[in-house]
A = this chain, B = another copy of it.
Amino acid sequence: MQKENEKTVSSTRLAEVCNINPSIIRKDFSYFGELGKRGVGYDVDELIQKIRNILGLDPVNKVALVGVGNIGKALLAYSNFESEGFKIVMAFDNQPALIGQKINDVTVEDAANLEDRIKEENIQLGILAVPELEAPEIARRMERGGVSAILSFAPCQLLMPDNIKITCMDLSREIARLVYYSSRDAAAAQD
């Protein structure tokens, strides 16, 4: 909507886009203050800015990437994260062929120095894109480096202290969800 220069948006409109009930939009927003204007709606620019503030995406968060394989490269290549509130400022790998390479302004560093470098730059967020077997150790080392949250692409459980938040991007889980719900709805449609 911002890109299309729409000035204001109503909860009804937002709800249509999200496929949910307008009340949810209004109630949820209301927990964070009176974000809209009665009779008018929500100011698009202002709403985006407020949500960015609420989420903590302003100023932009520095992120360290560990693992510059296919996934890591894809993340480094994608340039639009900054507008989403974060930026990959460091990348690590243990492959000599990769260390020293520069991808999209980020130079790949030796994973051996991970803890120290993360600490030096006071990085709070880590992205884990290493093979499953190495993931638990790298996660622990990120923790020692002082990160407060980890986003992992490794399809495994990472046991970490409670003060560290972990989220896994798990393709199998999402596929399972799609399979379950689409066959369920297909069955329901038969009635």
Inter-chain CA distance A80–B157, complex, in Å, is: 16
- Identical copies in the complex: 2
Inter-chain CA distance A113–B52, complex, in Å, is: 42
Residues of B within 8 A of A174 (CB): 151, 167, 169
**Is chain A's binding surface mostly helix, strand, loop or mixed?**
helix
Residues of B within 8 A of A189 (CB): 163
The listed residue with most B CB atoms (<10 A of its CB), out of A151, A157, A165, A177, is A165
CB proximity of A151 to chain B, nearest CB, Å: 6
Q: Does A66 contact B (CB under 8 A)?
A: no
**B84 touching A74 by the CB < 8 A rule?**
no
Q: Does A10 contact B (CB under 8 A)?
A: no
Digit string of A125-156 for contact with B (CB within 8 Å is 1, else 0)?
10000000000000000000000111100010
